[in-house]
Amino acid sequence: MHAHGSWLARVGTVALVTACGEDGRPAAEESTSEDASSGAADTTTPEPDDTGSTAAADDTTAGSTTATTEDEPSTGGGGLPDYSGSPCWGEAASTSVYNGMTHMLGDVAVTCRAEGDYVLLYVADELWDTAVDQAGVNGLMHQLELFTPDGSVDPEQGVVPNDEAVFGPMDTTQFPQGKLEIYVVDTSNAGDGYLCGWCDHPQLHLDGLVLQPLDDELATAITAHETYHVIHRAYDADEVRWVDESLAEAAMTANGFFTDVEWLQSFVDDPDQDWGPGDPELADFNYGAALLWGTALWERGGPPLMTAITAEPTNGWEGLDAALDSLGDPRDAWELYLDFVVAVYVDDPALGYGFASIDVPPVTTAGELGVGDTEMGSLLPYGIDYYRLADTGELTVDLMSTGAEPVVGQLLLMGEGSFQVAPIEQQVTMVSVGAGQSAVLVLTARDATTFTLSVG
């Protein structure tokens, strides 16, 4: 789910009456890949879910659902359609909404306000012409169906066809009307957006009171995130949360959006977090880390890797390894993770460690160590610590750890026109830090552990 502002929304497909939301707080889920079955919303706020054919645009008739006619006013430049002329416009329906205040489900009366080639968009009657109007509906639909920002995988396509191009087609056989249904409702703080997990077929709920205006980049980014969950659930309904959410975050990146700024800041401010692969509690899942990891995978393998991971039936690290193997990638997922922890600190794609799509803020270091210093520390599962070395010359680094999995150390040597990454072994490693270089020790582990780190 993508929950901006409430933990429920970011969860994705939850059990049934658990709410997760997205209110922009580092405690909620922003756009995560879980349904709102147990929580109801998926959003992009740090509170910190089948294959088939997509409905094709009808290019053969003058009445294509997105085409403007002489009787339909267009909005914006370039003859963009006014969806008030949609075939479904004005048709009444209802959807079951989780209330974040009462924690109950209730039927909400809605009316269709737009029909495109991919999407049917409904608005709760209580919100129409107050919080939500046709202009907002049109603006959102244009971005879902027709175009995305520069930097997306295809700016001349909308979010939904872009998601299908990157991750695989939606299973439209699951849609009673052959198109993805999106409902703009009041979730009562359950989340900015989510994939409904209690509904009888896949549908997205967006909070029309929180997402103001409805056609801004946040609403569109959340929809990109949640649409990924629709695609993924049809292929692999039991995927672990951190993989599902990381790729849902990558869907935002692939569509040219960067809206999880607060989540990202909450991660770089404290990178020693059990952010996802360690299976933390929902409230501890960090969408900023998921955004970076999903983006790292997207930038490494593009649509072929994203499609392979989405369709891969095995889960977690095993599934990532299988997807990489299927493409002949020589690295496994853990090796990529060790590159990832370096990239978070360095963030310089020219050096081979960084993000082209996102500027990562400066990362908080755990401390500085000089000759004679000893640090006794700990790491959470898949957490990261960065230590600056204060001295130069011929040094020894003594690393010892306890726990089921060893601490993995890497030394970053950075100088004028030079950059090097070297492993730090358990016990003693000799390192040479030149007078013009800076050195940083990077530590991570696959399980919770304690360690002792000394510099001599």
| 3-class DSSP state of 433 | strand
Claim to verify: residue 56 and residue 18 sit in the same structural domain = yes
Q: Which of 161-175, 410-424, 438-452 bottoms out in mean pLDDT, i.e. has the lowest?
A: 410-424
Domain's final residue, options 364, 381, 396 = 364
Claim to verify: residue 107 and residue 229 sit in the same structural domain = yes
Report pLDDT for 266.
98
Claim to verify: residue 289 and residue 396 sit in the same structural domain = no
Model confidence over 8-52: pLDDT tens digits?
Answer: 344 443 333 323 333 332 323 333 334 443 333 344 333 323 323
d(CA 314, CA 32): 20
d(CA 58, CA 22): 35
Token digits of residue 433: 């830090």
* DSSP 8-state class, residue 360: P
Say how many domains are in the chain: 2
Model confidence over 54-86: pLDDT tens digits?
Answer: 233 333 322 344 433 333 333 444 689 999 999
Domain's final residue, options 323, 343, 364 = 364
**Residue 405 is part of which domain span?**
367-455
Claim to verify: residue 311 and residue 407 sit in the same structural domain = no
Model confidence over 314-368: pLDDT tens digits?
Answer: 999 999 999 999 999 999 999 999 999 999 999 999 999 999 999 999 999 999 9
Claim to verify: residue 299 and residue 390 sit in the same structural domain = no
d(CA 259, CA 298): 17
Claim to verify: residue 330 and residue 341 sit in the same structural domain = yes
Report pLDDT for 78.
61
Claim to verify: residue 343 and residue 384 sit in the same structural domain = no
Claim to verify: residue 345 and residue 395 sit in the same structural domain = no
232-271: string of b/e by CB count within 10 Å (b at 16+)?
Answer: bbbbbeebbbbbbbbbbbbbbbbbbbbbbebbbebbbeeb
Claim to verify: residue 173 and residue 256 sit in the same structural domain = yes
User: How are strands ordered across the β-sheet holding 449-455?
Assistant: 374-379, 449-455, 393-402, 427-433
Claim to verify: residue 134 and residue 255 sit in the same structural domain = yes
Domain with residue 443: its CATH number is 2.60.120.380
Claim to verify: residue 299 and residue 401 sit in the same structural domain = no
pTM of the model: 0.85
Percent pLDDT > 90 in the chain is: 77
CB atoms near residue 275 (< 10 Å): 28
Claim to verify: residue 307 and residue 411 sit in the same structural domain = no
